[in-house]
Amino acid sequence: MKMRDLLWAERRKLRRSNILLIAFFAVIMVAIIVYAQGQFSYYGKRYVEVNEWYMTAALSLGSLYVLPAIIALTGTYIIQLEDQSDTMKSLAIVPVSLPRMIRAKWIVTAVITLALYLILFLITLTTEAILHFPLLTPSGILSFVKQYIIQGLSLFLAVSPIIALAAKMRKGYWLAFIFAEGYSFAALFVGMQPTISAVYPITAAFHVSGYYKTTPTQMLLSICSLAICGTLTVAIFHQLKQES
């Protein structure tokens, strides 16, 4: 089967699942919780009244506390979909390449990740436009678009090894969710040290996206860290193919 056909098939499977609704609900909750935090005051002024605070805070807090676990849950669920529905044996009689099918699932997970970040961006941009429309500039909006897109794709690479490892376990997607939550929460502590923050995959995503001010050396370390995550994921999937 062609990759286009496999991607179409994955999209059809997801239409019968609630996983996308769970992911969408998580993004909405990030937007609501961050906005609620913005009601706190600092020197008599609410945080949300500061121009671009909401867009910045939603990207940061969402990427640290919620979205890594949601990406891991979604990706693992998609990869294990055939095992859950007990259709893997049926696929054995169909001319489907397992490595190509896994690549299709990986691509679908990346697209979903990007979509979640763009949804969060649109929510925060709309809110900023309501609160501070005269202060918004095209260059500022484009800068945030770039940050959200790169942050989403970088975080996807950072979480990919967890997705691949959980895929080796039968019905391990909730385990992936829990592990990814701890993995991202640890970034709060490792991010205090500049060199380690550039190497640790979750915080490396912030360096690559431009959210953190970074040196050329830190940027190189972060790119290498995420590249290693991607390479490790490919190696695990290759092993999974041999076991199957």
pLDDT class for 87, splitting at 50, 70, 90? low
Domain hosting 34: range is 3-184
Residue 96 lies in a domain: yes
pLDDT class for 243, splitting at 50, 70, 90? low
Is-contact 172 76, C-beta < 8 A? yes
- Looking at residue 63, its pLDDT comes to 94
- Looking at residue 138, its pLDDT comes to 92
Residue 224 lies in a domain: no
Helix (H) or strand (E) holding 45, with range, is: strand 45-46
pLDDT class for 84, splitting at 50, 70, 90? low
User: 80 versus 226: which is more confidently predicted?
Assistant: 226
Is-contact 199 126, C-beta < 8 A? no
Residue 141 lies in a domain: yes
User: 166 versus 122: which is more confidently predicted?
Assistant: 122
Residue 82 lies in a domain: yes
In one-letter notation, the amino acid at residue 17 is S
- Looking at residue 94, its pLDDT comes to 55
User: Tokens representing 232?
Assistant: 């490790």
Check whether 148 has a pLDDT greater than 90: yes
Residue 130 lies in a domain: yes
pLDDT tens sequence across 182-237: 989 888 888 778 889 999 999 999 999 999 989 999 999 999 999 999 999 988 88
Check whether 85 has a pLDDT greater than 60: no
Long-range CB contact pairs, 196-204, < 8 A, 24+: 198/222, 198/225, 199/225, 200/225, 201/157, 201/158, 201/159, 201/225, 201/226, 201/229, 202/63, 202/64, 202/68, 202/155, 202/158, 204/154, 204/158
User: Tokens representing 57?
Assistant: 């805070």
pLDDT tens sequence across 92-133: 545 566 667 778 888 899 999 999 999 999 999 999 999 988
- Looking at residue 166, its pLDDT comes to 80
Residue 231 lies in a domain: no
CA dihedral 118, 121, 122, 123 (to 10 degrees): 120
Buried-state track 149-184, b at ≥16 Cβ within 10 A, e below 16: ebbbbbbbbbbbbbbbbbbeeeebbebbbebbbebb
Number of domains making up the chain:
1
Nearest to 6 by CA among 71, 98, 85: 98
Residue 75 lies in a domain: yes
% of residues, the chain, pLDDT over 90:
49
Residues sharing a CB contact under 8 Å with residue 108, sequence separation 6 or more, in sequence order = 7, 10, 11, 14, 78
> What average pLDDT does the chain have?
86
Residue 233 lies in a domain: no
